[in-house]
Chain A
Amino acid sequence: METSIIIETIVKAIIVLAVFSALAGFTTYIERKILAFMQRRLGPMNVGPHGVLQLIADGTKLFCKEDFIPANAVKPIFKIAPIITAATAFIAMTAVPFFPEFEMFGYTVRPIIADVNVGVLFVMGVAGIGLYGPLLAGMSSANKWSLLGGARTAIQLLSYEVVSGLSILAPLMMVGSLSLIDINNYQAGGISDWLIWSQPLAFVLFVMAGFAETNRTPFDLLEHEAEIVAGYATEYSGMRWGMFFIGEYANLFTVCFLISLMFLGGFNDFYFIPGGLAIVLKVMFLIFFFLWTRASWPHIRPDQLMWLCWKILMPLAVINILITGFVMMF
Chain B
Amino acid sequence: MSLQDLKERNVGTQEYMLVQEDDYPKTGWEEFKQVMKRSIKGELFGGLKITLKIMKEALFNNNMHTVQYPTEKLPISPRYRAVHKLLALLESGENRCIGCGLCEKICISKCIRMDTRIDENSRKEVLEYSINLGRCIFCGYCAEVCPELAIVHGGRYENASEQRAHFGLKEDFLTPLDELKNQQEYDGFGAISPNADERMKKTPLAY
Instruction: Give chain A's interface residues, CB within 8 Å of chain B.
Output: 34, 37-42, 45, 292-293, 295-297, 312
CB atoms of A296 and B65 under 8 A apart = no
CB atoms of A292 and B68 under 8 A apart: no
Bound CA span A10–B66, Å: 47
Return chain A residues, CB-CB under 8 Å to B51.
Answer: 38, 292, 295-296
Q: Is the CB of B44 within 8 A of A37?
A: no
Say whether, besides A297-B44, A297-B47, A312-B35, A40 and B52 are in contact (CB < 8 Å).
no
A42 and B50 form a contact (CB under 8 A): no
- Quick one: closest B residue to A295, CB to CB? B51
The DSSP consensus for interface residues of chain A is helix
Partner of B65, one of A40, A295, A312: A40
Given contacts A34-B55, A312-B35, contact A41 B64 (CB under 8 A): yes
26 cross-chain CB contacts under 8 A: A34-B55, A37-B54, A37-B55, A38-B52, A38-B54, A38-B55, A38-B58, A39-B54, A40-B54, A40-B57, A40-B58, A40-B63, A40-B64, A40-B66, A41-B65, A41-B66, A42-B64, A42-B66, A45-B68, A292-B51, A292-B52, A295-B51, A296-B44, A296-B47, A296-B50, A297-B48
Nearest A residue to B57 by beta-carbon distance?
A40
> Does B59 belong to the interface (CB within 8 Å)?
yes
Residues of A within 8 A of B59 (CB): 37
Contacting A at CB under 8 A, from B33-76, are 35, 44, 47-48, 50-52, 54-55, 57-59, 63-66, 68
Q: How far is the CB of B39 from chain A (nearest CB, A)?
A: 8
Kindly list the 6 A-B residue pairs having the minimum CB-CB distance in the complex, ordered from nearest: A296-B47, A296-B51, A42-B66, A38-B51, A37-B55, A38-B55
Closest to B48 in A: A296
- Residues of A with C-beta under 8 A to B63: 40
How far is B45's CA from A297's CA once the two chains are assembled, in angstroms?
10
Residues from chain B with Cβ under 8 Å of A292 in the complex: 48, 51-52
Residue of A nearest to B44 (CB): A297
B-chain residues with CB within 8 Å of residue A37 when the two chains form the complex? 54-55, 58-59
How many residues on B have C-beta within 8 angstroms of the other chain's C-beta atoms?
A: 17
Among A42, A296, A297, A312, which residue has its beta carbon within 8 angstroms of that of B68? A42
User: How many angstroms from the CA of A139 to the CA of B35 in the assembled complex?
Assistant: 36
Q: Which residue of B lies closest to A312 (CB)?
A: B35
Give Cα distance in the complex from A45 to B72, angstroms. Answer: 13
A45 to chain B: which residues have CB within 8 Å? Answer: 68
- Min CB–CB distance B115 → chain A (angstroms): 44
Cα distance A126–B124 in the bound complex, in angstroms? 87
A45 to B55, CA, bound (A): 17
Query: Closest CB-CB distance, A300 to chain B, in whole Å?
Result: 11
CA distance A297 to B44 in the complex (A): 7
Residue of B nearest to A298 (CB): B47
Given contacts A37-B55, A292-B51, 20 further A-B pairs with CB under 8 A are A34-B55, A37-B54, A38-B51, A38-B55, A39-B54, A40-B54, A40-B57, A40-B58, A40-B65, A40-B66, A41-B58, A41-B64, A41-B65, A41-B66, A45-B68, A292-B48, A292-B52, A296-B50, A296-B51, A312-B35
Contacts of B35 in A (CB 8 A): 312
Pair A293/B68 contact, Cβ less than 8 Å: no
Closest to B67 in A: A42
For A289, give the chain B residue with the smallest CB separation.
Answer: B48
What residue in chain B is nearest A46 (Cβ atoms)?
B68
A312 / chain B contacts, CB cutoff of 8 Å: 35
CB distance from A284 to the nearest CB of B (A): 16
C-alpha spacing A40/B65, complex, angstroms? 6
B188 to chain A, nearest CB (A): 35
In the bound complex, what is the Cα–Cα distance between A38 and B63 (angstroms)? 11
Min C-beta distance of B65 to chain A, whole Å: 5
Write out the residue numbers on chain A whose beta carbons fall within 8 Å of the beta carbon of B57. 40
Chain A: minimal CB distance from B50 (Å):
7
Q: How far is the CA of A269 from the CA of B167 in the complex (A)?
A: 70
**In whole angstroms, what is the CA distance A296 to B44 when docked?**
8
Could you say which of B54, B57, B59 has the most chain A C-beta atoms within 10 Å of its C-beta? Answer: B54
Residues facing A in B107-157 (CB within 8 A) are none
Closest CB-CB distance, A46 to chain B, in whole Å? Answer: 8
CB contacts (< 8 Å) of A295 on chain B: these are 51
Chain A contacts of B52 at CB under 8 A? 38, 292
Least CB distance from B57 to A in Å reads: 8
B181 vs chain A, min Cβ distance (A): 34
Q: Give bound CA distance, A38 to B48, whole Å.
A: 10
A293 touches B48 (CB 8 A): yes
A296 to B64, CA, bound (A): 18
Which chain A residue shows the least CB distance to B63? A40
Q: Shortest distance in angstroms between A294's beta carbon and chain B's nearest beta carbon? A: 9
Q: How far is the CA of A292 from the CA of B50 in the complex (A)?
A: 11
Q: Bound complex: CA of A156 vs CA of B58, how far in Å?
A: 35
